[in-house]
Amino acid sequence: MLLQMQQEYLAEARSHMRTREGAESLHEGEIEALAGWLATSVIGGAWAAMDEFGRGSLMDRDNPALPEYMKSDLWNPYRKDDLAIRSRKAGPYVNIFGETVVSTARQPGYNLEKKGGKYAPQPPSHALQTAARWMMNGRVIEIWQKALDDFPWGDFIVVTPD
């Protein structure tokens, strides 16, 4: 039942992603026992985060991880309050994927979104949030009810005389 919910949530979230990379970066997490509960998760990488919350000037400012990301060394200091994707100063830096890359920009702070293509801003898909709402609007209860209906209760209940 738990695995079925995880699989359905994963499939639903992938179906709402705007990018192939975002959908492909989502995968099943482990099943964990936490304080008497069983839990599972769907995990995504940087592509999934950028798909969920958008990129550049169209990024969702309500992303709960955004303030921490903006304070990190990964954030481009040339990105202003408009959140536009901008060039960095020339030299090496670590990108959002944790890779060291080298900027060859002659003009740091240039708004790369004007070039379009891979620099185009992207609105948020909110695919994970949409999938969660869909699951909570009845699908979880249907899965639970089916599990309760199909469980062989008689195999585990022993009736004894008083």
Label each residue of the chain as H, E or C: CHHHHHHHHHHHHHHHCCCHHHHHHCEECCCEEECCEEECCEECCHHHHHHHHCEHHHCCCCCCCHHHHHHCCCCCCCCCCCCCCECCCCEEEECCCCCEEEECCCCCCCEHHHHCHHHCCECCCCHHHHHHHHHHHHHHHHHHHHHHHHCCHHHCCCCCCC
pTM for this predicted structure: 0.82
Quote the pLDDT of residue 146.
81
Quote the pLDDT of residue 80.
82
For residues 145 and 112, membership in a common domain is answered with no
For residues 15 and 41, membership in a common domain is answered with yes
Quote the pLDDT of residue 15.
96
Domain count, the chain: 2
For residues 67 and 111, membership in a common domain is answered with yes
For residues 34 and 77, membership in a common domain is answered with no
Measured CA to CA, the distance from residue 120 to residue 31 in angstroms comes to 37
Question: pLDDT digit of tens for each residue in the chain (162 aa)?
Answer: 778 888 988 999 999 999 999 999 999 998 888 888 878 899 999 999 999 999 999 999 999 999 999 999 999 999 987 899 999 999 999 999 999 999 999 999 999 999 999 999 999 999 999 999 888 887 777 877 887 778 777 787 887 887
Quote the pLDDT of residue 36.
81
For residues 5 and 47, membership in a common domain is answered with yes
Domain range enclosing 96: 61-121
For residues 66 and 117, membership in a common domain is answered with yes
For residues 66 and 110, membership in a common domain is answered with yes
For residues 100 and 138, membership in a common domain is answered with no
For residues 113 and 65, membership in a common domain is answered with yes
Quote the pLDDT of residue 95.
95
For residues 116 and 161, membership in a common domain is answered with no
For residues 128 and 49, membership in a common domain is answered with yes
For residues 37 and 71, membership in a common domain is answered with no
